[in-house]
Amino acid sequence: MEECLKERVKTNKLPHSKCYDEVVRIIEESQADIHADIRLFKACSVDLKQHCGEIVRGEGRQMKCLVFIFNDKKIPLDDKCNKTLSQRMQLWKIASGADGDMSFQQMASNIVTSPSRNYFIGVILVCIGIIFIGGLFCGRITKRIRREIKDR
C-alpha cells in the first residue's frame, strides 16, 4: 500500500491533504537510512555488502555510499538496485519540493493545531516581553540628554 501511495505522489495523482503530507514525510524519512526503506534495502542488499560493507550502519552513511556509487557510474550496481534507487531519488526530489515555503497563515495554523501550542505561545510572549522590558530600561541610552537641558 505504501508503494502505491508513493507512486501516486510521484505521478501527482494524490491530492494535497494530510495523507499526502504523511506520504511525503515517509519518503523523506526513508532518505535518512536505507533500513527504513525495506524495498530499497532488499533490492540493494548485495551491492550494499559488496561496496559499502565497511561503512558503519546509521546516520544515513550507507545510503550516502550507495548514492555516491550510483552517481559515480564507475562501479556498476545491480539492475534491480539501480532501478529502485533511481526511482527513490526521483521521489526524494519531489518530496523536497513538496514542502515549499510556509506562509505566516500556515505557520499560525500549525501552531494553533499543535499539541505544544502553549509552549510556542509562551516562547513568543517571553520574547516580546524581553523586547518590551529592554526598551523600557534602555530606550534612551542611545541619545543621552545633558542635565542642563532637562532642567529648563
Q: Confidence class of residue 8 from pLDDT cuts 50, 70 and 90?
A: low
Mean pLDDT of the chain: 77
Q: Confidence class of residue 72 from pLDDT cuts 50, 70 and 90?
A: confident
Q: Quick count: other Cβ atoms within 10 Å of Cβ 122?
A: 11
Q: What integer pLDDT is reported at residue 112 of this predicted model?
A: 84
The model's pLDDT over 107-138, given as tens digits with 9 standing for 90+, comes to 788 788 888 889 988 999 999 999 999 888 77
Question: Under 8 Å CB-to-CB from 46, ≥6 apart: which residues?
Answer: 78, 81
Cell of 1: 500500500
The number of residues making up the chain comes to: 152
Eight-class DSSP state of 81: H
Rounded to two decimals, the pTM is 0.52
Which DSSP string corresponds to 87-139?
A: HHHHHHHHHHHHH-PPPHHHHHHHHHHSTTHHHHHHHHHHHHHHHHHHHHHHT
Q: Which amino acid is at 123?
A: V
